[in-house]
Structures are given as C-alpha cells and as structure tokens.
C-alpha cells in the first residue's frame, strides 16, 4: 500500500480486524518511511451485478445509489447510517442468492420496501410513495391502511 502522506509503499500492519460481519477486513498500517498511520479495507471483489430497468435496459448496479435512496427515505428518522449500510449489504447478498447477477428494479424496489417496513413504517411509506409514484393523498391513505392491517 502506498502511504497517503509520502507515497512510499513500505509499511507494516499494526492491527487487522474483520468488519461488516466478516465481509471486509480493516487493517491499520504505519508507513516505515514517515511513520504516518492510516487505515485500509480489503473486501471480496464481487462479479458485477446488473439492474434491469423497467424499459428493458441493463445498468451496472450501484450500491451508493441504493444507499442514497434508502437514506433519503430514512431522513430525520432514528436510523443510523451504519444500519442503512447493513441493510444494503444484506439486501445485496439476498438478491444475489435469489436472483443471480441480474436483478430487475421491480424486485429490488420491493425488497427495499420489505426491509424498510420491518424497521420503520414512516421510512417505508416515504420510499413507497416515490417507488410507486403516488399521485394523490388517497394512495398514501391506502398504503397507511394496509400497514395497519
């Protein structure tokens, strides 16, 4: 690893820990040249997931886009960014196991709503309103009534 301070690639590992339920390894390093300490992360490189859009186009899966959508729905709710990241990771794992490397936006959206419904009903309704393109208040009321049932 190149030191972010001096650019040399001579370092030693001070500490190694598994993070994100073993899906990633965090290493604390020290540059032997300038003694700067820095952290690196090592994770499994997955085969590239593809999302099948509603119009049939394929698009590379973007985890940041998934997290951003979930975070928007969870805005001002008692849900930590760490919890959102964990939700995204478990969704990706579940989708890969069930659907392989090609996932439709319909299935992805339904899975996100299912996860949000389990942790926060307000975030669920927010996400559903955008995902299902609610056009009026009656659609909101209908969705809230289905939550009550």
Any idea where the domains of the chain sit in the sequence? 11-43, 50-148
Of 63, 79, 146, nearest to 116 (Cα)?
Answer: 79
pLDDT at 137: 78
39 pLDDT higher than 90:
yes
Q: Which of 17-21, 23-27, 117-121 has the lowest mean pLDDT?
A: 17-21
Phi, psi of 39 (to 5 degrees): -115, 140
Q: Model confidence at 4, in pLDDT bands (50, 70, 90)?
A: very high
| pLDDT above 90 coverage of the chain, percent | 62
12 pLDDT higher than 90:
yes
pLDDT at 54: 86
Top mean pLDDT of 12-16, 47-51, 86-90, 96-100 is at: 12-16
Return d(Cα 31, Cα 7) in angstroms, integer.
9
Q: Model confidence at 21, in pLDDT bands (50, 70, 90)?
A: confident
Radius of gyration (Cα) for the chain, nearest Å?
A: 20
pLDDT at 120: 93
The 10s digit of each residue's pLDDT in 102-147 is: 999 989 999 999 999 999 999 988 888 887 777 777 877 888 888 7
pLDDT at 20: 76
pLDDT at 22: 79
Q: Specify the pTM.
A: 0.65
Q: Which tokens is 39 given?
A: 């952290």
The β-bridge relationship of strands 37-43 and 24-31 is antiparallel
* Residue bearing tokens 């805005």: 75
């Amino acid at each position: 690893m190149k030191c972010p301070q001096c650019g040399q690639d001579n370092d030693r590992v001070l500490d190694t820990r598994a993070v994100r339920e073993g899906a990633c390894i965090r290493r604390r390093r020290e540059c032997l040249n300038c003694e700067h300490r820095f952290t690196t992360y090592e994770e499994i490189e997955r085969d590239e997931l593809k999302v099948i859009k509603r119009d049939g186009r394929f698009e590379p899966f973007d985890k940041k886009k998934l997290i951003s959508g979930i975070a928007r729905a969870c805005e001002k709710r008692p849900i930590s960014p760490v919890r959102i990241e964990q939700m995204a990771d478990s969704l990706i794992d579940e989708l890969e196991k069930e659907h392989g490397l090609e996932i439709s936006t319909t299935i992805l959206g339904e899975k996100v709503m299912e996860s949000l419904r389990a942790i926060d009903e307000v975030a669920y309704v927010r996400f559903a309103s955008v995902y299902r393109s609610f056009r009026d208040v009656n659609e909101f009321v209908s969705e809230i009534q289905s939550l009550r049932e």
